[in-house]
Amino acid sequence: MDVALTHVADENADIQRVEPEEFDGIVARHQRQIYRILLSMVRDDDVADTLTQECFLRAFRERNSFRGESSLSTWLVRIAINLAHDHNRSRRWAFWRKVNHPERLEAIGAVDLHRSPEQTLMNRESVDAIRTAVAKLPERQKIVFLLRFVEEMSLESIAESTGLKIGTVKSHLFRSVEAVKARCNGCV
Amino acid sequence: MMTRFDDEPPRERIAEMSSGQGEELVKSGELQDGITVFRDSLRTAAERPEAFWTSQRAAITENLRRAAPTLRMKSALIWVPVSVAALVCFFLFMEKPGVPAPDFAVGADQNLLIDVEQALYRDCPEALAPAAALVQEIK
């Protein structure tokens, strides 16, 4: 990555004049986060991959609308959320979501070399319980929960990414935590 | 595009709560560990070999290259109707220079006036001009 590219990839970089070749640096910097968010929202590897590509294509197409008021990352997350939102609303994909098992998103993280098999099993149960609880959350609560606790985004960034007011983000966060806690009562 | 994720107010008025209340709920209980493991599991689940990211970037760049001429053409096409409209307006509102009318009528009138004048000052009708000339010679 050359100096110009590093400059372009800065969080608040002006991407309006970026050419396709230079856009690669921005993709490299953000693709993992965007993919992770999309994967946790759509729960399908291939769809997450496709939507990640679509997210960056859309970002490139609409780069003139990026005014630098938020960070580039927040702006990309917002595009990704809208894509996932559209995807989840689509009837065609709803059918495939039913066909696909949630087990596709395996809790690989439960495998920890520093923990005993018992601990690993407990972790796996905890993760399964939380994952099930999160999956049952309403769409907005789920998004806010994932952005806060998985992506560790600030409340302000979540508000910018989702287009919600910060008060609404707080209330969604509060409700989602309460709901997860209620559903996981005794299992974590 | 970005406003579809609409902002409905919650039924109960709990927006006034402190910013960290949701997180305090997490921190205060045993949910903290569970969420940490959950977060790690999601992050690990989304981990892919470097080849995957390289291939994804290549696909994006390829799509961008393919889309770029189309995008440029689209932006150029936007200017076509604008330019046409501007040209039409220019020609419509441009002050037309005064084009002199053909001078046929003036010429014809002039000839007629000359004929009339000649007829008035002529001694005899034009048809009798040769006879008049003979009379003049005889005289």
Contact (Cβ atoms closer than 8 angstroms) between residue B5 and residue A164? yes
Contact (Cβ atoms closer than 8 angstroms) between residue A109 and residue B37? yes
Its domain, for residue A13, covers 1-104
- Domain match, A139 and A55 both: no
Residues of chain B with pLDDT under 70: 1-30, 68-78, 95-106
What is the structure's pLDDT at A165? 93
Q: Which of B16, B40, B42 to mutate to test the interface with A (most CBs of A within 10 A)?
A: B42
> CA nearest A128 in B: which residue?
B38
More confident residue, A3 or A134: A134
Q: What is the CATH number of the domain that holds A19?
A: 1.10.1740.10
- Domain match, A15 and A99 both: yes
Over 50: is that where the pLDDT of A16 sits? yes
pLDDT digits (tens, 9 = 90+) for A75-133: 999 999 999 988 887 755 555 555 554 444 444 343 444 556 666 666 677 778 888 88
Interchain contact, B41 vs A110, CB within 8 Å: yes
**A8-22, A60-74, A147-161, B57-71: the lowest-pLDDT one:** A8-22
Distance from CA of B80 to the nearest CA of A (A): 20
Tell me the domain boundaries of chain B: 21-93, 106-138
pTM, rounded to two decimals: 0.62
pLDDT digits (tens, 9 = 90+) for A28-58: 999 999 999 999 888 889 999 999 999 999 9
More confident residue, A136 or A22: A136
- Domain match, A30 and A117 both: no
What is the structure's pLDDT at A1? 38
Where a domain ends, among A72, A104, A136?
Answer: A104
Interchain contact, A164 vs B7, CB within 8 Å: yes
- Domain match, A136 and A185 both: yes
* Rounded average pLDDT over A178-183: 88
Interchain contact, A109 vs B65, CB within 8 Å: no
CB atoms within 10 A of CB B102: 8
More confident residue, B96 or A9: B96
Q: Which of B48, B70, B50, B46 is nearest to B58 (CA)?
A: B50
Give the SS3 label for residue B118.
Answer: helix
CB atoms within 10 A of CB A86: 13
3-state SS, one letter per residue, for chain A: CCHHHHHHCCCCCCCCCCCHHHHHHHHHHHHHHHHHHHHHHHCCHHHHHHHHHHHHHHHHHCHHHCCCCCCHHHHHHHHHHHHHHHHHHCHHHHHHHHHCCHHHCCCHHHCCCCCCHHHHHHHHHHHHHHHHHHHCCCHHHHHHHHHHHCCCCCHHHHHHHHCCCHHHHHHHHHHHHHHHHHHCCCCC
- Domain match, A83 and A132 both: no
Counting the structural domains of chain A, the total is 2
pLDDT digits (tens, 9 = 90+) for A150-171: 898 999 999 999 999 999 999 9
Check: complex ipTM more than 0.90: no
Interchain contact, B46 vs A126, CB within 8 Å: no
Distance between CA atoms of A141 and A148, rounded to whole angstroms? 10
What is the structure's pLDDT at B8? 45
- Domain match, A147 and A180 both: yes
- Domain match, A116 and A134 both: yes
What is the structure's pLDDT at A39? 92
Closest CB to A127 among B8, B38, B47: B38
What is the structure's pLDDT at B73? 63
- Domain match, A83 and A58 both: yes
- Domain match, A124 and A96 both: no
Q: A124 vs A82, A88, A148, CA distance in Å? A: 30, 26, 21
- Domain match, A92 and A180 both: no
Distance from CA of A95 to the nearest CA of B (A): 22
Where a domain ends, among A57, A74, A104?
Answer: A104
Where a domain ends, among A87, A104, A121?
Answer: A104
- Domain match, A114 and A68 both: no
More confident residue, A9 or A74: A74
Distance from CA of A43 to the nearest CA of B (A): 10
- Domain match, A124 and A167 both: yes
